[in-house]
Structure formats: structure tokens, C-alpha cells
A and B are shown apart, each in its own frame.
Chain A
Amino acid sequence: MSTQTATPDAPPASPPRSGAGRRSTPTRPARRSGGLTSRVMVNAVLAVVAVYTLMPLTWLLIASTKSYRDLFATNPFSLGDFAFLANLNALLAYDDGVFVRWLLNSLLYTVVASGLSTLISVACGYAFDKYAFRGREKWFGVVLAGVLIPSTVVQLPLYLMASELGLVNTYWAVLIPSLVNPFGVYLARVFSEGYVPGEVLEAARMDGAGEVRTFVKVALPMLAPGFVTIFLFSFTASWNNFYGALMMLNDDRLYPVNLGLYMWNQNVYQQPELYPLVIIGSLVAVVPLIVAFLCLQRFWRSGLTAGAVK
């Protein structure tokens, strides 16, 4: 195990695993004392791993302030001439501002698609939890099977069918597939069990509210935290969807950000002046995500625990 962990470049990656590994006898005497040394050791290991996880983003931030010349000429962690704004201008101006278009496309593919997908999943999961209907568990088995079907496996078949239907190279080709989120249905059922007491629904029905009205006015507000969690899962999935977009889209005006950056990177040999654009473009794409994740942390956590911890 030590050879594998030590080799991937990052020097920080190796000490934690070999140092505190499962069967590591050398640390045991120190640990038993539980004293200052082991306390320092534990925190040092944690700090070193934090350096490993934060280093690439730090580098990205610093590199985004450099001009193309400084990028290769100066020490990667030192500051060159401050070219951040110049880079940003170049990014936004390149090819008639195609990058801004990519950002908007990404917004459509992720936020809009995830919103719809979450609504569909929540309604379905709610129905699984709150209504008894014939074959309910069989249908739910289908959902669970859907969770386990790797999305990559479906991509090519999806492409073949989309090209048969003439949908390739349209917004729909990327949007429609991301509306389906079986894991979201599973989570929604779990959340509905936990958050929506049956008596409340019964009370709403006694008051004469129809089923749809009960769902929208009574159940949905109670499911709000679950809604956000499922939204986040769906959002990450669509934001990470590169394979699908790469297959489906040719027209660079339809690209999401990640596909656009990939295409720029393909041309970086012939046009090295694209390097700073790819770097600052990555930064601009990542920062809103990081901010969103920091703000929505607690929803994340509840989703992870609901989905994985029993």
C-alpha cells in the first residue's frame, strides 16, 4: 500500500496513509499514551492532507494572475506582474465573448435542469412513500436498479437514439437526459418518510384539499430541506457531465463551460496564448460552485447521511 500512495506526485499524500495506516505498528506506542506527541502527530497529518487538497486550487488562483510569459517564466507560487484583470478581459472578449455564452449554457444545463429534475424526483418519491398502489415495491425496484446503471453506459445508446431522432447538437440532447435522477427518487422517498407525517396530509384532506394541492401546499414545504439536498446531487451530476456533452454537441455555441475549456485546451499547442484563458476560465467556473457548496453545506450533509449511513 505504501508504494501506491507514495508515488502519486503529491508528497503530502504519502505521510498520512503510511503514518497512520491500519496495521502500522510503529505508531502504536505513541498512540497509547494519548499524550502531546500523538496529538501533534494527528493534527500534523490532518494539516498535511489539507495542504494536498487545497494546493491545486491555490495554484489556480495564483496562476490566474499571471500573463502568459510569467506563467512559464516565474516560480509557480510566486506572483508575477498582476495580470488578473487583463486575463479576465481577454477571457470575456475571446471569440466574441463565447465564454459568457458557455457560462449561461452551463446555467441552463445545471440549474434549470436540476430544478425540474428535482421536482420530478420529489413528486415520484413522495408518491412511493404516501400512497399504496399496486406493484409499488416492484416499481421501486426499477428505481433502485436505475441508481446502479452507470450513466456512462447509457451515453452512447442515448447518442445513437438522439441522432436517429435528429436531436443531436441541440440543447435538448443535454437537457432531457439530466432530468432523470433515480437516486433523487430514492432520497425523496426517504425524506418523505422522515419529514411528512401522514396525519398532516389526512388533516389537509379533511379540509377538502385535493391531492395535488395537498402535495404543493402541505408536503412540498415540509420537504424543502430534502428538495435542496436532491437538487445538489442532481446539480453535481449535471455539472460533472462531460462525456454526454462531448458526444452530443458539435456547435461551440451550445457548449457548457467544461466542454468549452476542454476544446481550448485541445488547441493549446498551436495557440499557447490560450493557456491563461483556460486557467482563468477554470477559476471563473469553479468559484461560484465553491461558494454555493460552502453556503449549502448542511443540506449536503443531510443528503449524505440519509443516502449512505444507516
Chain B
Amino acid sequence: MAAPLARPGQTPAPQAAPPPAGPAGPAGPGKPGAPGGAGTRRGQRRAVALFTVPFFALFTAVTVLPMIYAAWMSLYREESSGLGFGGTERVFAGLGNFTEALGDEAFLRSFGNIALYCALYIPAMAGGALVLALLVDSTMARARRFFQIAYFLPHAVPGLIASLIWLYLYTPGLSPITDALDALGAQWNFFGQDEAIFSVVNISAWQWTGYNMIIFYAGLQAVPREVLEAATVDGAGALRTALQVKLPMIRPTVVLTLLFTCVGAIQLFDAPKLVQLRANTMGEDWSPAMFIYTAAFKGHDYGLAAASSLLLALVAGLLSFVVTKLGNRWKAS
């Protein structure tokens, strides 16, 4: 089952080739054996429509049309007429909203925050998941099933509730952690200006390390045992086998994980939104998603919010492109 899979995040060309070219299914036009070929073919065409139209109609309604609508909205600006209460009118602004967003320090800062967040979070989370997967996969680990379940469990907790739990675990008085730190005489304010970002990173790492560890572990399990035995026969120790034999074999999995992690990171909302409730220095526009929310619902500037959404989409697209390209190069090396 696992062999000829298409990979998301790649250009359609390479993955498009193998599956349909093979035993393309009974519907190929070259099926003269079937009685009444024309009739069944019409039936099949109707079936294709019936099966695919619901998805594409909904996809159009909730993804394509809203993006087009946002693009249109981003070209206009609401201006209050007269005394400022009651009526506003929509004025064509051209690219004004885009230049406003790009000139907005808070918007740019939110991307800076996410960049720093990525620099801290991705190595910690992906590195941690990889190390854990290699350790659980090593011959030395005991109670593998227990560890897998224990690591995966946080992922079953909805993101907002996970953030809420950690918010309380950061709150002095409620939290066992702050108590323990106090007892040790350590100074750490989870809501401090410099510390808050670590509090956010920790929430994400708690949610996602186990999830990705399971993915890596599944990849490691697929490494042929003969290869590992050969490495042992050649005198490679456990660490060497892990780094030089196992790791290269799960590169594609790692690349895909990095891609999804980047796409996820740029959408970050729940965790900073909650941490910011106590960490006042962060501000309500700490991440791009928070900026968009604040622009729309606090500032009621829908044009700016729409323009920012499109810019965020653009950055997300560029990011996945770059990660995929770099990943492919790394896979090939």
C-alpha cells in the first residue's frame, strides 16, 4: 500500500505520473469488453460528477470565492462620512491597504516574532521528536507502547484547551512549576518580556513533539532490518547506526514534517493569544493571525485585514515552496 503514494506539497508533475499510468482502473477508454460500452461510459461520467462535484463545489464556496472576495475587499477602504457616526462609505483605495500593511510596524513585527518563534521551536520540536523516535526505535528502549501513547496524548487535547492548561501552569499560585522554581530559588517569569516567547514555544512543543515523533518512528520501523543488521555486522554502534543509517532513510518524512510545521507556525494563534492575556508586553498583534484578527475586530478595518490575509497567504506559499525546494535538494544529496 505504501509504495506508489503521491506526496502532497510537490509539484503535480512527478507524482502525477506513476499512479494513473499503471493499472488505471476499469474506466480506461480501452475497455471494449464491457457490453454496451457507450452506455456504461456515460454512467461512469455521471458517477464522476456525482462523486467529485460536492467536494469541488464546497471547496469553491469556502476557499476560492472567499479569497477572491478578500482580494476585492482589499482594494477598498471604509471611510466614515460626515460626523463619524452611522454611515461609512466604501472608497476605492487601490493598493493602499497593502502599502499600509507593509508599512505597519506591528504587521512587520508580527512576522519577526514568528521568525524568532520558528528559530526556537522548529529545532527544539523536530530535533526532540527525532531523538525520541530514534531512542524508542533503538534496541535499548523498554515499554515502547507506553511511551508512544504518553507522547501522543497531548495531541488529543484541542489546541485552545492545551494553551489554557499551560496558561494556568504558568500562573503563580496555581502552578506547580512556579512553586518548584521558587523552591529552587530560580527566577523565571513566564510572562516576562523576554520569557513570553519561550512560554509560547513550549505550548507548541508540548502539542506537536509526540505527534511528529510517532510519524518519524513509523518511518524508522519501515527501515529494512537487513540494512540494520549489515550495519551492526560492519561494527557500527547504536549511535552510529542511528545517525548514518536510519536518519538518511527517513529524510523524506523529515522534509514533509518540516513543511507542515512551517505552514502551521505561520498560522499561530491560540497559544500566543492566551499567553498574551497575562504577558502584556506581547500585545494583541503578536502573530500575523492575531494582527489580522485585531485589525478586523478591534480596528474594524476590513480592507487592511483582507490585505494582510492575502499577504500572509503569499508568505505561506513562498515558504512552502522554499522548504520543498530545499528539502528536495537535501533528499537528493
Q: Is A13 an interface residue (CB 8 A)?
A: yes
Query: Is the beta-carbon distance between B202 and A31 smaller than 8 angstroms?
Result: no
Which residues of chain A are near B26, meaning CB under 8 Å? 130, 198, 201-202, 205
Q: Which residues of B contact A306 (CB under 8 A)?
A: 1-2, 5
Partner of A183, one of B8, B46, B130, B297: B8
Complex CA gap A53/B59 in Å reads 36
- B199 and A8: CB pair below 8 A? yes
Using CB atoms, name the residue of chain A closest to B266: A150
Partner of B237, one of A31, A140, A301: A31
A16, CB-defined interface residue at 8 Å = yes
Complex Cα spacing A196 to B167, Å: 47
A21 interface neighbour in B131, B138, B154, Cβ under 8 Å: B131
B253 on interface, CB distance cutoff 8 Å: yes
Interface status of B103 (Cβ within 8 A of chain A): no
Give B175-198 interface residues, CB cut-off 8 Å to A.
Answer: 175-177, 179-181, 188, 190, 195, 198
Residues in chain A near residue B305, CB distance under 8 A: 156
Contact B215 A130 (CB under 8 A): no
A205, B164: Cβ atoms closer than 8 Å: no
Which B residues are CB-close (under 8 A) to A190? 1, 5-6
B149 at the interface (CB under 8 A from A): yes
A124 within 8 A of B: yes
Contact of B161 among A9, A129, A151, A261 (CB under 8 A): A261
Would you call A94 an interface residue if the criterion is a C-beta within 8 Å of the partner chain's C-beta atoms? Answer: no
> When the two chains form their complex, are residues B237 and A32 in contact, meaning their CB atoms are under 8 A apart?
yes
Separation of A148 and B164 alpha carbons in the complex (Å): 28
> Are A164 and B317 in touch, CB under 8 angstroms?
no
Within B140-167, the residues touching A (CB, 8 Å) are 140-143, 146-147, 149-162, 164-167
How far, in whole Å, are A182 and B58 apart by their CA atoms in the complex? Answer: 11
Tell me whether A93 is interfacial, beta carbon within 8 Å: no
Inter-chain contact B175/A131, CB cutoff 8 Å: no
Please determine whether B6 and A189 come into contact, CB atoms closer than 8 angstroms.
yes
A49 to B151, CA, bound (A): 8
Indicate whether A79 reaches chain B with its CB closer than 8 angstroms.
no
B67 within 8 A of A: yes
Given contacts A17-B124, A53-B150, A158-B62, is CB(A148)–CB(B8) below 8 Å? yes
Bound complex: CA A147 to CA B52 (Å): 16
Chain A contacts of B142 at CB under 8 A?
Answer: 43
Q: What's the nearest-Cβ distance from chain B to residue A87, in Å? A: 15
A52 contacts across to B, CB distance below 8 A: 206
Interface size counted on chain B using CB atoms at 8 A: 139
Is there a chain B Cβ closer than 8 Å to A38's Cβ? yes
Shortest Cβ gap from A192 to chain B (Å): 9
User: How near does chain A come to B127, taking the closest CB pair, in angstroms?
Assistant: 6
Bound complex: CA of A75 vs CA of B143, how far in Å? 31
B304-318 CB mask vs A (1 if < 8 Å, else 0) is 011001101100110
Report if B50 contacts A (CB, 8 A): yes
From residue B136, how far is it (CB to closest CB) to chain A in Å?
Answer: 7
Q: Is the CB of B159 within 8 A of A240?
A: yes
**Cβ of A286 and Cβ of B156 under 8 Å apart?**
yes
Q: How far is the CB of B329 from chain A (nearest CB, A)?
A: 17
Cβ contacts under 8 Å, A308 to chain B: 215, 218-219, 253, 256-257
Alpha-carbon gap, A164 to B67, bound state (A): 14
Asked if A141 is an interface residue, CB under 8 A from chain B, the answer is yes
The minimal Cβ–Cβ distance linking B124 to chain A, given in whole angstroms, is 5
Known: A198-B23, A265-B164. A186 touches B8 (CB 8 A): yes
> B241-258: contact bitstring with A at CB < 8 Å (1 yes, 0 no)?
001000000101100110
| Residue on B nearest A151 in the bound complex, by CB | B267
Q: How far is the CB of A12 from chain B (nearest CB, A)?
A: 10
B299 located at the interface, meaning its Cβ lies under 8 Å from any Cβ of chain A in the complex: no
A10→B179 CA distance, assembly (Å): 12
Q: How many residues of A contact B (CB 8 A)?
A: 132
Rounded to whole angstroms, the CA-CA distance of A34 and B44 in the bound complex is 61
Contacts of B54 in A (CB 8 A): 120, 123-124
Contact A309 B222 (CB under 8 A): yes
In the complex, what residues of B have CB within 8 A of residue A262's CB?
160, 164, 274
Check if A239 sits within 8 Å of B158, measured CB to CB: yes
B108 contacts A by Cβ under 8 Å: no
When distances are taken between beta carbons in the complex, the residues of chain A under 8 Å from B297 are: 247
Complex alpha-carbon distance, A190 and B2, angstroms: 9
Assess whether B140 is in contact with A39, with CB atoms less than 8 Å apart. yes
Are B59 and A180 touching (Cβ within 8 A)? Answer: yes
Give Cα distance in the complex from A210 to B267, angstroms: 44
Known: A123-B51, A131-B48, A151-B267. A32 touches B239 (CB 8 A): yes
Q: Let me know if B320 is at the binding interface, CB within 8 A.
A: yes
B202, A310: Cβ atoms closer than 8 Å: no
Contact B47 A131 (CB under 8 A): yes
Instruction: Check if B127 sits within 8 Å of A154, measured CB to CB.
Output: no
Contact B160 A258 (CB under 8 A): yes
Q: Mark B53-77, 1 if CB is under 8 A from A, else 0.
A: 0111011011101110110010000
Q: Is the CB of B52 within 8 A of A293?
A: no
Q: Which residues of A contact B47 (CB under 8 A)?
A: 127, 131, 211-212, 215
Chain A CB within 10 Å — which of B19, B23, B52, B264 has the most? B52
Task: Pick the contact of A139: B56, B69, B309 (CB < 8 A).
Answer: B56
Assess whether B111 is interfacial by the CB under 8 Å rule: no
Other A-B pairs beyond A53-B150, A138-B12, 20, CB < 8 Å: A8-B205, A9-B177, A9-B188, A9-B190, A20-B135, A38-B238, A42-B135, A131-B25, A136-B20, A139-B52, A148-B317, A153-B309, A156-B293, A205-B26, A211-B43, A215-B47, A239-B158, A304-B214, A305-B215, A310-B252
Q: List 9 A-B contacts (CB under 8 A).
A: A4-B120, A10-B177, A46-B143, A56-B162, A120-B54, A157-B73, A158-B62, A205-B40, A290-B153
Q: Lowest 4 A-B CB distances belong to which pairs? A: A8-B202, A211-B47, A157-B70, A194-B1
